[in-house]
Structure 1
């Protein structure tokens, strides 16, 4: 048994959801794919898949093996691509994790232009605001926003991320415009639940802390919802300009207390530390560098 072929057959069966579709993708017969998987199970001494007439299901051992096997196959493909031609054409499937609001608003044109320049690269974009485990979950790159702490991962700074306090003119006409931090005490706030309360200036820490919250405030884990609520006059939001910038530029929102903005965060491209970096990863990181401009286009409203 060729263990790499068997491993690739197993991973493809899982990704395709059936032996028949996996066989089509691998250009093998379904019988041979089934044989490979059975041989792999025999070699490991455990069942990886439970098969029914309609579906296949990973066993607990199969789920654990699948994660590692996918990474091993990715590493083999990356190594062969690099050794074959270090300057060769980027190719293969690029798995990217990105924050929800940022990706929806800003990544579609980028990905379209990248694939036009690198047509042999396929994109698998997964949107999630949680901090994914790049290695365990099989991602090539994760885009992250914040102040990154030291880790074994490699990070490339892509663009600054400015946070602003903003509200709709109609809301300010009803409740008054804060001129200093003390004026904020009696206002309603639209809070992002993932915001780090330790980040930024004291006024931002107070607004995001439990001591500054009230039952009447609106809390959400999605910045787009909060910006739309702010436009509707629901209160004051603290959001990055890559979400709020268009509304600010159109006059639907006004920036408050600009002298009390926190230090900017940043958008980073994060990837696993590998001695050999796949050409598809290297090409995407290079493509990101400078793509959004300096300052980023979403900040060009002052």
Structure 2
């Protein structure tokens, strides 16, 4: 009965045969020659067979040693290949990844980023959900959310993406038919397109970081989606307070214009949020690392 075999001894034996000498094998492996000699002797003792003829000038495998080498070489190569494949698979993202965001972000900022992320992770099934309501991430099976404003749920972890500002916009058709707006107080005389009923009482504006001014307004139109608010503003429906990223192209083209361009809302933080149960999943970490800088550019452009 053979002694227990150390597989490291087999690896060293293969290197000795392929190097042609213990000295050369020791040099390649950056090990002491005596360590390799002891390893070879221990392997032969464990197998109960001589594997290599040794003399002062040369070294070559015995018939048994050559057979053993041929079989072990292929097996050892397969083992190394399996190890490399396993390590590679650990970094391959698979399964389902669900991201949720408000409709305006889901329709404007997320698509190019998610498409790029999907291309480099073809085995990952990505679900992008646009919704203007807070959902329970755990109950809904959502991996990651993008949310505005202060975070109140202590059961969530967060990573800040950027800040955004809300700006007053309208189109020339509406503005040319209405009283001129020269000061914040003049806004009371105008029709507002409000995003949800939260704007029915007041809007808060600051001039280049100065003290916040609260202005009472009564919206003429109330919508539940900022994209709808933008569409109404483009049609002359009134003044809308919109995220700056959402109307960048329209402002650049002149389809919309800034109203009181020196004023904007206080910066609103935007975060990635995810459930804090357990460690952050590789899918969530990978998406945050991949997309954070890209998304920040959209929010600050």
Aligned to 1:139: 142
Identify the residue that residue 126 of structure 1 maps to in structure 2.
Answer: 129
Q: What is the CA–CA distance in structure 1 between the aligned matches of 2:227 and 2:215, rounded to whole Å? A: 22
Q: Whole-Å Cα distance in 2 between the matches of residues 121 and 194 of structure 1?
A: 39
Tell me the equivalent position of 2:70. none
Looking at structure 2, the residues matched to 120 and 205 of structure 1 have their Cα atoms a distance apart, in angstroms, of: 50
TM alignment of 1:34-113, pairs within 5 A: 88-113=91-116
Match of 1:225 in 2: 228
Q: CA deviation at 1:153?
A: 0.7
8 Å CA contact 1:204, 1:262 repeated in 2: no
Query: 1:181 matched to which residue of 2?
Result: 184
2:196 matched to which residue of 1? 193
Which one of the candidate residues 208, 214, 218 is aligned to 1:213? Answer: 218
Q: Name the counterpart of 1:117.
A: 120
Write the deviation string for residues 255-287 of structure 1: whole angstroms up to 9, x where unpaired: 122333121113211001133222111101111
Q: Secondary structure at the match of 1:175?
A: coil
Kept in 2, the 8 Å contact 1:158–1:288? The answer is: no
Kept in 2: contact 1:91–1:279 (CA 8 A): no
- Distance in 1 (CA, whole Å) between partners of 2:106 and 2:120 is 20
Cα separation, partners in 2 of 1:194 and 1:126, compared to 1, 3 Å: farther
Q: Deviations over 1:229-260 (max 9, x none)?
A: 11111111001022222111111111122333
Query: What is the distance in 1 between the residues matched to 2:148 and 2:89?
Result: 30
SS in 1 for 2:284: helix
Check conservation: 2:163, 2:299, Cα contact below 8 A. no
Instruction: Measure, in 1, the Cα distance between the counterparts of 2:300 and 2:256.
Output: 14
What are the Cα deviations for residues 154-199 of structure 1, in whole angstroms up to 9, with x where unaligned?
1111132220011111211111331111111211110100657787
Match of 1:256 among 254, 259, 269: 259
SS in 1 for 2:158: strand
Residues 93 and 121, structure 1, Cα contact 8 Å, conserved in 2: yes
Task: Give the number of aligned pairs.
Answer: 210
Among candidates 151, 159, 162, match of residue 159 of structure 1: 162
- From 267, 275, 280, give the equivalent of 2:278: 275
**Residue equivalent to 1:291:** 294
Identify the residue that residue 44 of structure 1 maps to in structure 2: none
Secondary structure in structure 2 of the residue aligned to 1:142: strand
Q: Are the structure 2 counterparts of residues 194 and 232 from structure 1 closer, same or farther at C-alpha, using a change threshold of 3 Å?
A: same
Structure 1, unmatched stretches of 5+, are 1-83
Whole-Å separation in 2 of the counterparts to 1:195 and 1:152: 26
- The residue that corresponds to 1:9 in the other structure is none
